[in-house]
Structure 1
Amino acid sequence: MKPAQHEPSGSLVGSLADILASAQSAFDKGDHARTEEILRQVLEAHPQIAAAWKLRGINALRIGLEDDAETFLEQSLRLDPEDAGTLFHLGNAYLKDSAFTQAVDLYQRSIAIRADIPETHNNLSAALRLAGRPSDAEAAAQQALRLERNYGEAENNLGLALCDLGRYPEAIHCFERAIQIDRENVEALNNLGVALDASGEVDKAKETFVQALALQPKNIDAKLNLGNLYRKTGQLTDAAQQYSEALELNPGDLRAYANLGLTLINKNQPEGAIALYEKALALAPETPDIRMSLGIAQLMLGYFDDGWRNYEARWQATSFTAKRRSFAGTPWTGQPLAGKSILVYAEQGFGDTIQFARYLPLIAQQAGEVVFECQKALKSLCSSLDGVTKLLARGEALPETDFQIPLMSLPLRMAEFAGHMPTATQYLRAAGDATEGFRQRLQTEKPSVGLVWSGNPDRQDDWIRSCPPTAMRLLLDQRDYEFVSLQFGATPSELSPDIVDFGALCRDFTDTAAAVDALDLIITVDTATAHLAGALGKNVWVMLGHHADWRYLMNRTDSPWYPTMRLYRQEKFGHWDSVVEACARDLRSGLGMTDRA
Structure 2
Amino acid sequence: MTRSSPPSPEHLGPSVVDAIVRRAYAEVQEGRFEATRDALLPYSGQGDHRVDLLLGFAYAGSRQFDLAAPLLVNAALANVGAKHPAHDVVELFARFDMRPDAERAVRAMLALTPEDARIHDALGDVLCQMGRFDDAIGVLEHGLRLRPYNPLTLNLMAIARAERGETETALAMFQSVLKLTPNNASALSNLACLLSALNRPEEALDLYRSAIAEKPTDAQIRLNHSVALLKAGRFAQGWSEHEWRLKLPNHTSLPQDKLLPPIGPDVDIRGKRILITQEEGLGDTLMYLRFIPALARRGAITHLWVPDSLEHVCRRVEGVAIVQVGGDVPPFDWHCPFISLPRALVGTPDAMGDPVPYLSADPTKVAEKSRLLPRNGKLNVGLVWGGSPRPHHTPAHMVDRKRSASLAAMAPLAAVEGVNLISLQKGPYAREAFDPPEGMRLYDPTDELHDMDDTAALMMGLDVLVSVDTSVVHLAGALGRRVLLMDRFDNCWRWLSGREDSVWYPDLTIIRQDRLGDWSPVVERVGVALRKMVAERQSA
Output the TM-score relative to the length of structure 2. Answer: 0.79
Matched-pair contact (CA < 8 Å) for 2:205–2:228:
yes
Match for residue 339 of structure 2 among 404, 408, 411: 408
Which of 423, 447, 454 is the equivalent residue of 1:485?
A: 423
CA shift digits 1:90-146 (9 cap, x unpaired): x9xxxxxxxx99xxxxxxxxxxxx99787x62x7656x69xxx9439989x999988
Aligned: 1:439 with 2:439: no
| Residue 285 of structure 2 is aligned to residue 357 of structure 1 | no
Relative distance call for 1:414 and 1:592 in structure 2 (3 A) is: farther
Tell me which residue corresponds to 1:306: 237
Match in the other structure for 1:31: none
Q: Residues 198-257 of structure 1, C-alpha deviation per residue, up to 9 Å, x if partnerless?
A: 455432222110001012112122112212222222222222222222222212222212
Q: What residue in structure 2 maps to residue 193 of structure 1?
A: 124
**Is this contact kept in 2: 1:125–1:137, CA < 8 A?**
no
What SS class does the counterpart of residue 518 from structure 1 fall into?
coil
Q: Using the alignment, how far apart are the partners of 1:173 and 1:483 within structure 2?
A: 43
Structure 1 residue 378: Cα displacement: 0.7
The whole-number CA distance in structure 2 between the counterparts of 1:337 and 1:518 is: 39
- 1:110-121 alignment runs, 5 A limit: 121=49
1:386 corresponds to 2:318: yes
The counterpart of 1:208, out of the listed 139, 156, 167, is 139
Q: 2:258 aligns with which of 330, 341, 346?
A: 330
Query: Does the 8 A contact of 2:76 with 2:85 survive in 1?
Result: no
1:368-517 mapped onto 2 (5 Å cutoff)? 368-393=300-325, 395-441=326-372, 442-458=374-390, 459-488=397-426, 489-492=430-433, 493-495=435-437, 497-517=440-460
Structure 2 residue aligned with 1:518: 461
Q: % of aligned pairs identical?
A: 27
In 2, the alpha carbon distance for the partners of 1:503 and 1:522 equals 15
Instruction: Count the aligned residue pairs.
Output: 479
- The 3-state SS of whatever aligns with 1:511 is helix
Measure, in 2, the Cα distance between the counterparts of 1:260 and 1:580. 30
- Higher radius of gyration, 1 or 2: 1
- Alignment TM-score, normalising by the size of structure 1: 0.72
Identify if the C-alpha distance between structure 1 residues 217 and 384 changes in structure 2 by more than 3 Å, giving closer, same or farther: same
Pick closer, same or farther for the CA change 1:365–1:146 going to 2, 3 Å: closer
Partner of 2:523: 580
2:202 maps to 271
Q: Find the aligned partners of 1:411 and 1:147 in 2 and give their Cα distance.
A: 49
Shift of 1:332: 1.4
What RMSD over aligned residues (CA atoms) do the two structures have, in Å? 3.6
Q: Which residue pairs with 1:57 in the alignment?
A: none
For structure 1, the 5+ residue unaligned runs are 1-82, 92-99, 102-113
Match of 2:275 in 1: 343
Structure 1 residue 388, shift from structure 2 partner: 0.7
Native 8 Å contact 2:231 2:494 kept in 1: yes
Partner Cα distance (2:330, 2:108) in 1:
55
Name the CA shift for 1:548/1:558 in 2 (closer, same or farther; >3 Å). same
CA distance in 1, matches of 2:193, 2:256: 35
The amino acid that maps onto 1:556 is R
Residue 296 (structure 1) shift = 0.8
For the 8 Å contact 1:342–1:367, the answer to whether it is kept is no
Instruction: Please list every run of 5 or more consecutive structure 2 residues that lacks an aligned counterpart in the other structure.
Output: 1-9, 19-24, 27-42, 391-396
CA distance in 2, matches of 1:234, 1:147: 38
Q: Provide the C-alpha distance between the structure 1 equivalents of 2:211 and 2:256, rounded to a whole number of angstroms.
A: 35
Distance between the aligned counterparts of 1:311 and 1:542, measured in 2? 25
The Cα of 1:272 is off from its aligned counterpart by 1.5
CA distance in 2, matches of 1:413, 1:502: 40
> 1:257 is paired with a residue of what secondary structure?
helix
Inter-partner Cα distance in structure 1 for 2:303 and 2:497: 34
User: Separation in 1 of the partners of 2:359 and 2:367?
Assistant: 17
Partners in 1 of 2:76 and 2:250 — Cα distance?
Answer: 33
TM-superposed deviation, 1:419: 3.6
Q: Which has the higher contact order (CA 8 A, sep 6+)?
A: 2
Distance 1:188 1:388 in 2: 52
SS at match of 1:494: coil
The one-letter code of the counterpart of 1:490 is R
Residue 179 of structure 1, CA deviation: 4.1
Tell me which residue corresponds to 1:9: none
